[in-house]
Amino acid sequence: MRRTVILAVVAALGAGLLAGCAEDSEEPGAGSAGGAGGAKGRTTITVGVFGAFGLKEAGLYDEYMKLHKNIEIKQTSIERNENYYPQLLTHLGSGSGLADIQAVEVNNIAEITTTQADKLVDLGKTEGVSKDSFLPWKWAQATNKDGKTIGLGTDIGPQGICYRKDLFAKAGLPTDREAVGKLWAGDWNKYLAAGKQYKAKAPKGTTFVDSASGVMAAITGSSAKRFYDESGEVVYKTNPAVKDAFDTAAAFATEGLSGKLQQFTPAWDQGYANGTFATVSCPAWMLGYIQDKAGPAGKDKWDVAPAPKPSNWGGSFLIVPEAGKNKTEAAKLAAWLTAPEQQAKLFEKRGSFPSAQAAYSLPAVSGAKHEYFGNAPIGQIFSQAAEGIPVLIVGPKDLVIAQNLADVGMLQVGQKGKSPQEGWDAAVKAIDNALDQ
Amino acid sequence: MASDIPAAAPSQGEEGAAPAQPSPTVDTAAAERRRARRSRWYRRDVRWSPYAFVAPFFVFFAAFGLFPLLYTGWASLHRVELTAPTDMEWVGLRNFSRLLEDEFFWNALKNTFTIGVISTVPQLLIALGIAHLLNYRLRTSMFFRVAALTPYATSVAAATLVFVLLFGRDYGMINWALGLAGIDPVDWQNGEWTSQIAVSTIVIWRWTGYNALIYLAAMQAIPNDLYESAALDGASRWQQFVHVTVPSLRPTILFTCVVSTIGATQLFGEPLLFNGGAGATGGADHQFQTLGLYLYEQGWVNLHLGRASAIAWTMFLILLVIGAVNWLLVRRLRKSA
């Protein structure tokens, strides 16, 4: 009796293992035509993304499959880019385990473009891809020196300033979004001045901004040259734009205008839920996040105004590895997914702002209003911001530099009460250590 | 099992030879040969089968234990980046020598040590106490034993996320309780000591029950007569604990010390997740960045595989030193006992 039980268990475990293996061997880069489950003659294209990327959620895969009966699209997602990106690099290095299409975050695109171009398909030559429909700087970011375009832009992150009307009213500031925009138009220092004005009559327990590092990200995103110069040299230490951004943002902390929160942490989410800060620099993709975290209680309290200067924060690209089995079909799909019409749909459903400027005139974008944000004409606000964004120079280690400036430098000023100079020095030390091979 | 085989094998041989009986002269030689072959096969079987049975372990160990260890050592002598993992440039011991002057490394080493001490010491003391209590005849003792083990069964990630909320600066439950007692809220994450205490709390919470059950198992092996005679001599419960229980548990306590030290040296998940979404910096001032976190930051955030490998090997060497110290201690204690 006992023996049969054991045998049964062993058999079950064995079967489980085998099944597991079978699944595993099929999953990574399952690009093979007509996978086990697929119908006859169907090509399966896999897409690897990080987070809730939105392509699937917006129904774009379903639409493509309806248009192309011979194509089946499967998506694998890894929640955080910090886990997704190193894995992508190892897979590119070994030439295996890759999906047919992979997503890349803007902070990583320069590293991919400079170090991995020979492993990727030149999407600039794909049928149906038109350089002119993309913002020039977005196109340039994924194009290497030989003119090979390895990535097609999906969304970008033009920024506005999201603000709480109720808190503004209590502090005696205007609440109409045009008047609010005029408060700080053209100059980040005016934003600081508005903060001081807010603080004078601030409702108890609230601050003007959530965090100094959010302000810094917004300011650095508004200058063409940030951490690298045109020739690819690291210049963040000597570039006045970066130091000025750091000092201006640090002033928010030292003046007591910041809620001393770290972005994308539970405490930050609680800040939204409890309405403890009045403004936040918000790229288009952040509106959905605010709506989620502030909940129904925040409805008709939040609104969005133009930022002092046009600035970009975030955005992504799609790349097609050479190692994939369905390169041509994958490139076609990538081209379709990033075409203006599809980017407009992605904006309509998910709030990811198009990097294809040809999409801005489409009604889905130009007429877009956000109900939660007091019916703000977000299509217009973010289109204007997007067109004013300078041609950003991106470098391979942008992410590491930006992260250390925020999570070491600005956090020391914002949360530990150190002087801006001390914070800057600590960040520089950490960055130099990180960049040193 | 082993005794079955010799009994079965000859009888099989006889059966096999049986049909050949009609012509004995030719066939005895053949049977002899067959038998010799069988016995050779049998000898080989006895000799090599055990190796075949244990081979899977060694194959897996070689593939997933030994090879990574050696390859990491090889990589630590090179400049390797994750962007081009096959592109290796020989740099000798440079990755190790730079650690000597790398203040982030020393900071991580110091943090690993302090967090290790303030988590391991209270943890083992509490575990000993809990085990002692569980060792009494209690009603529903099974329930308490299972309850003691539940934290260990919880995932690090889930537990840490809850602790992050408890230790929150603005809306954390601990600061709320402190507020009731009239104490100002503490910014747990940003203070050097407060953050390390918070991380240690997670470790203590998670591992105390596990160690308590190990102690409990050892305690139940202590003969009851010892307690009886101690009681007859007029020893109190506490005296029994100090003079009977603890000395009998000495090997077990040493074992848990070693295991906890190794665990503390490799501490990773708790400090990583305690930092919220901010990655592997271990706080704005690297105030709770452990060696494990620094290794992860170098390898998977900064993409310097060579430097990360050097840190990994240094950690390995540190563990060897700890092992050697422990071995000396055990010898000392055994002599004194």
pLDDT band at B145 (very low <50, low <70, confident <90, very high): confident
Interacting residues of A417 by C-beta distance below 8 A, sequence separation 6+ = none
Q: What is the pLDDT of residues A37-61, one digit of tens each?
A: 445 578 999 999 998 888 998 999 9
Contacts of A404 in chain B (CB under 8 A): 281
pLDDT value, residue B219: 92
pLDDT value, residue B337: 60
Contacts of B86 in chain A (CB under 8 A): 93
Torsion region of B191: left, alpha or beta (phi above 0 gives left; psi -120 to 50 gives alpha): beta
pLDDT value, residue B56: 93
Show the DSSP H helices in chain B as ranges: 4-17, 24-61, 67-75, 94-100, 103-135, 141-153, 156-166, 173-180, 192-220, 224-232, 237-240, 246-248, 250-265, 269-274, 291-296, 305-336
Which residue is closest to B84 within chain A, CA to CA? A93
User: How far, in Å, CA of B8 to CA of B1, rounded?
Assistant: 11
pLDDT value, residue B86: 85
Q: What is the DSSP letter of B22?
A: T
Does pTM top 0.80 for this prediction? yes
Contacts of A91 in chain B (CB under 8 A): none
**Out of B83, B104, B276, whose CB is closest to A433?**
B104
Pairing of strands A302-306, B78-81: unpaired
User: How far, in Å, CA of A174 to CA of A168, rounded?
Assistant: 7
pLDDT value, residue B277: 67
Residues 264-283 of A with CB under 8 A from B: 264-267, 270-271, 274, 276
- Contact assignment for B281 to A270 by CB distance below 8 Å: no
User: How far, in Å, CA of A87 to CA of A85, rounded?
Assistant: 5
Contacts of A93 in chain B (CB under 8 A): 82-86
Nearest to residue A71, comparing CAs of A46, A43, A47? Answer: A43
pLDDT value, residue B304: 94
Which residue is closest to A435 within chain B, CA to CA? B302
Q: Is A419 on the interface with B (CB under 8 A)?
A: no
Nearest to residue B326, comparing CAs of B258, B248, B249? Answer: B258
Residue ranges, chain A, pLDDT below 50: 1, 16-38
- Contact assignment for B276 to A430 by CB distance below 8 Å: no
Higher pLDDT, B278 or A117: A117
Mean of all residue pLDDT scores within chain B? 87
Contacts of A264 in chain B (CB under 8 A): 276-277
Q: Best of B170, B173, B174 to disrupt the A interface by mutation (most A CBs within 10 Å)?
A: B170
Amino acid at A217: A
Q: What is the pLDDT of residues B95-125, one digit of tens each?
A: 999 999 999 999 999 999 999 999 999 999 9
pLDDT value, residue B323: 87
**Range with the poorest average pLDDT among B2-6, B122-126, B217-221, B250-254:** B2-6
Mean pLDDT across the stretch B130-149?
85
Contact in structure between B74 and B93 (CB atoms under 8 Å): no
Q: Is A407 on the interface with B (CB under 8 A)?
A: yes
Contact in structure between A194 and A225 (CB atoms under 8 Å): no
Q: Provide, rounded to the nearest whole percent, the portion of chain B with pLDDT above 70.
A: 91
Query: Can you give the three-state secondary structure of chain A, one letter per residue?
Result: CHHHHHHHHHHHHHHHHHHHHHHHHHCCCCCCECCCCCCCCCEEEEEEEECCCCCCCCCHHHHHHHHCCCEEEEEEEECCHHHHHHHHHHHHHHCCCCCCEEEEEHHHHHHHHHHCHHHECCHHHCCCCCHHHECHHHHHHCECCCCCECEEEEEEEEEEEEEEHHHHHHCCCCCCHHHHHHHHCCCHHHHHHHHHHHHHCCCCCCEEECCHHHHHHHHHCCCCCCCECCCCCECCCCCHHHHHHHHHHHHHHHCCCECCCCCCCHHHHHHHHHCCEEEEEEECCHHHHHHHHHCHHHCCCEEEEECCCCCEEEEEEEECECCCCCHHHHHHHHHHHCCHHHHHHHHHHHCCEECEHHHCCCHHHHCCCECCCCCECHHHHHHHHHHHCCCCCCCCCHHHHHHHHHHHHHHHHHHHCCCHHHHHHHHHHHHHHHHCC
- Contact assignment for A262 to B278 by CB distance below 8 Å: yes
User: How far, in Å, CA of A280 to CA of B249, rounded?
Assistant: 58
Quickly tell me which residue has 């072959």 as its tokens: B37
- Contact assignment for B284 to A271 by CB distance below 8 Å: no
Q: What is the pLDDT of residues A295-348, one digit of tens each?
A: 999 988 999 999 999 999 999 999 999 998 899 999 999 999 999 999 999 998
Is it the case that residue B132 has pLDDT exceeding 90? no
Contact in structure between B167 and B254 (CB atoms under 8 Å): no
Q: At what angle do helices A188-200 and A212-220 cross, to 10 degrees?
A: 160
